[in-house]
Amino acid sequence: MRVGIIAVQHESNTFADEGTTIEQFRQDTLLCGKSIEAAFTSAHHELGGFFEGLANESIESVPVFAARATPGGTITRDAAQSLLDVMAHELQKAGELDGLLVAPHGAAVSELDADFDGLWLAWLREIVAPGTPIVCTLDLHANVSPRMINACDATIGYRTNPHLDQRARGVEAARLLARTLRGEVRPVQALCSPPVAINIERQFTAEPPMRELLALAERQRSLPGVLSNTVIAGFPYADVAEMGSSFIVVTDGDAMLARRCADELGARLVADREAFRGHLISIADALASAAETAQRVCLLDTGDNVGGGAPGDGTSLIHALRPIVERRCFAKVFDPESVSRAAAAGEGGACVLSIGGKSARSPFPPVEGACEVRRLCEGRWAETKTRHGGATGGDMGPCAVVQLRPGFDVLLTTHRTMPFSLAPLIACGVDPRSYDILIAKGVHAPVAAYGEVCDRFIRVNTPGVTDADMTRLPFQHRRRPLFPFESV
């Protein structure tokens, strides 16, 4: 048997100003055929799990197409059409397939279609031979549409945040597809989308209230006939009708059981909805809390969450920490212009920089002043450990480490990168253990890596296009009523 593998992954922030172009996919991942296997076989990613799972089942893997870009603004019309065109071309080249393993993100929005994942999944369903099983994986931060569910025989989502189980879910999906192809099971699935959007701050799966919701899902998976289920926390930074939390249950031919279990999970979320409100911590309160401890603290800059599509050049916490000279601090900022100026000054040189705050929606101005250039580096890095997102390496472009004030270092990058690994810091000669306070532009994803060096995490309610207080975002297309916006 031959099983095709396709992935198109993007988390689209519709509140960001700049759209995501095809060039941004090329900078990250835009692969066809065997090059996909070379790039992902060993990765802690669902595609690596697909390859492993199919090999375990003695089924031939047929890598077709894989595209991924750093979370950012809405995918442009041209980029969306290009992705569809390449996918169609490569699928035609792949020949006859017995099944498909597909990996959308679940929160992709394009100018071509607001439900971009639903668009390409439905297109696949239409063109493959009737009866061809399609098994899908989804990110925990998906906004799930009925079109996505209707296009696939089974859908399996990540169960951890930070996402450390991606490869395991890929293996699970491959196993389920193999059992379907052999006629051992006949998967059917149900989607429940209750009128609740879980706050991004409350989506850490190792702690309440998510932990209890996931425990109910785990108990359901022990029921006879239940093949899989998923708690989808949702992605609040996409202004689409599907925005919000949802539940997917896959059973062996029992549609009523799938519906009953999905509705049970939905009812639990509605009943416990108040526990899923954000516990919003102001900048002032966060700094006061950090000052009370001698532990190494990571301040999570939730409003400039690069993993949620923010620009990564926010300066709110840098401005707040700059005067606190008794604490050694570190921040990483996307700022190609400042990198160029630092490079011109050279290592050991001095230059006047205007750091960050250059994006159209940056709520705080640049941090200005004379800086010492401590180090220049290429910005390439490799990761061997399991981290959120499954990446095994990356490229920040040319970088500069500058000293903003004695004891405050800033890593300036040319490419916008997510803080999911310590390897980018170490590659630029930065020792994260040498600081008292580190700023990471994320919410939960950085914890897997920064937990190795930080004793305490404070999620700070900073302003920006990934504002933790979703009620402050200018939604136009979300469903109504929806908690916490309206009473339900």
Q: Tell whether the model's pLDDT for residue 284 goes beyond 90.
A: yes
Q: Quick one: which H or E segment has residue 216?
A: helix 210-221
Q: Tell whether the model's pLDDT for residue 249 goes beyond 90.
A: yes
What is the C-alpha separation between 355 and 371, in angstroms, rounded? 10
Q: At 51, phi and psi to the nearest 5?
A: -60, -45
Predicted confidence (pLDDT) per residue in 318-334, tens digit: 999 999 999 999 999 99
The predicted pLDDT at position 33 comes to 97
What is the C-alpha separation between 443 and 298, in angstroms, rounded? 11
Q: At 394, phi and psi to the nearest 5?
A: -175, -175
Asked whether the beta carbons of 237 and 13 are under 8 A apart, the reply is yes
The predicted pLDDT at position 361 comes to 81
The predicted pLDDT at position 99 comes to 98
Q: At 2, phi and psi to the nearest 5?
A: -120, 125
Predicted confidence (pLDDT) per residue in 337-351, tens digit: 999 999 999 999 999
Mean pLDDT of 200-219: 98
Predicted confidence (pLDDT) per residue in 475-486, tens digit: 999 999 999 999
What is the C-alpha separation between 235 and 239, in angstroms, rounded? 10
Find, among 126, 129, 173, the residue nearest to 147 by Cα: 126
Predicted confidence (pLDDT) per residue in 162-194, tens digit: 999 999 999 999 999 999 999 999 999 999 999
Hey, what amino acid is at 134?
I
Mean pLDDT of 436-462: 97
Average pLDDT, the chain: 97
Looking at 115-235, which runs of residues are DSSP E strands? 134-138, 154-157, 187-192, 226-232
What is the C-alpha separation between 187 and 176, in angstroms, rounded? 9
Mean pLDDT of 101-109: 98
The predicted pLDDT at position 342 comes to 98
pTM of the predicted protein model: 0.96
The predicted pLDDT at position 391 comes to 87
The predicted pLDDT at position 360 comes to 84
Angle 273-299-105 from CA coordinates, rounded to 5°: 55
